[in-house]
Amino acid sequence: MRWFFGAILAIALIAGGYFWYASRPAEIPAPVVPVKEEKPFKVREVIGQSVEKRAIEAFTYGAGPERLVFVGGIHGGYEWNSVLLAYQFMDHLEKNPATVPAGMSVTVIPSANPDGVFAIVGKEGRFALADVPEGDQSAGRFNANEVDLNRNFDCKWQPKGTWRSAPVSAGSAAFSEPESKALRDFLLKAQPAAAVFWHSQAGAVYGSECEDGVLPATWAAVQAYAKAAEYEAVKSFDAYPVVGDAEGWLASEGIPAFSVELTTHEDVEWQKNLAGIKATIQYFQQQ
């Protein structure tokens, strides 16, 4: 009989547990709180490759729709200090993210002609001042096809361009070179408020034009950068005729663009250019 009473007790416990489970208050599910996904402050993308298959990189800081683009090294190792300036600016942005205001973003393309840089410094990507040899570095001005990339854009393009009154190859057609194609495609997609190209060595800031003169926003931005950086402001480059340049092509697309010529081929003139950069950002922030 002992087993009988044990079975009855087990059945009672099971039944009691069932009725307790069935009659308990329904649990209220915890509310689902949506998580806002923040865009990263820094985004790296490869926008193309050089003739020798080196990556052309663009680094974007901030997530605002109003974008400024800064480009170094379109003349490669001949103007290697423009590449170092771009990298120093990137370091500054990473340490000082507030440099990029809310509602804006800044893209830096540090080396638009990586083959030309490699021809002089013998390194891909970032390099140091100690990597740069002394002597004539003019061969690094061109890409691996010996084309002057800043004569390969579609603004009054000609097969032969001019550099210091000497003829240089401008390619077989406008945008014949992979580097200029990469810049074209990126800039047309980005539609920046303005593009700034760092060069050397004239110690001035030059506006851009193609067929219709200097855009008003271009000249205003030139003056803002030049005044803050204590460079001379010039409406357009006039030392010798230049056609097929990136800045002129952008002007033909209605995008303000200008060239900042460092004073020498060696110094990045960091404090001067940081002041110019900040003045440019402030100008377009107020538009």
Q: pLDDT at position 247, please?
A: 98
Task: Confirm whether 206 is domain-assigned.
Answer: yes
Q: pLDDT at position 30, please?
A: 52
Task: Confirm whether 27 is domain-assigned.
Answer: no
Query: For the residues 165-170, what does the mean pLDDT come to?
Result: 94
| 262 touches 82 (CB < 8 A) | yes
Q: Which amino acid is at 185?
A: D
Residue-averaged pLDDT of the chain: 90
Task: Confirm whether 29 is domain-assigned.
Answer: no
Instruction: Identify the weakest region by mean pLDDT among 86-95, 165-174, 236-245.
Output: 236-245
State pLDDT tens for residues 200-242: 999 999 999 998 899 999 999 999 999 999 999 999 888 888 9
Task: Confirm whether 182 is domain-assigned.
Answer: yes
CATH number of the domain at 46, please. Answer: 3.40.630.10
- For 179-247, the three-class secondary structure string (H helix, E strand, C coil) is HHHHHHHHHHHHCCCEEEEEEECCCEEECCCCCCCCCHHHHHHHHHHHHHHCCEEECCCCCCCCCCCHH
Q: pLDDT at position 35, please?
A: 46
Q: pLDDT at position 40, please?
A: 74
Task: Confirm whether 26 is domain-assigned.
Answer: no
Task: Confirm whether 119 is domain-assigned.
Answer: yes
Domain that includes residue 171, residue range: 42-285
Task: Confirm whether 5 is domain-assigned.
Answer: no
**pLDDT surpasses 50 at 258:** yes
Task: Confirm whether 19 is domain-assigned.
Answer: no
**What is the tally of structural domains in the chain?**
1
| 271 touches 90 (CB < 8 A) | no
**pLDDT surpasses 60 at 243:** yes
Instruction: Determine phi and psi for 71, rounding to 5 degrees.
Output: -125, 130
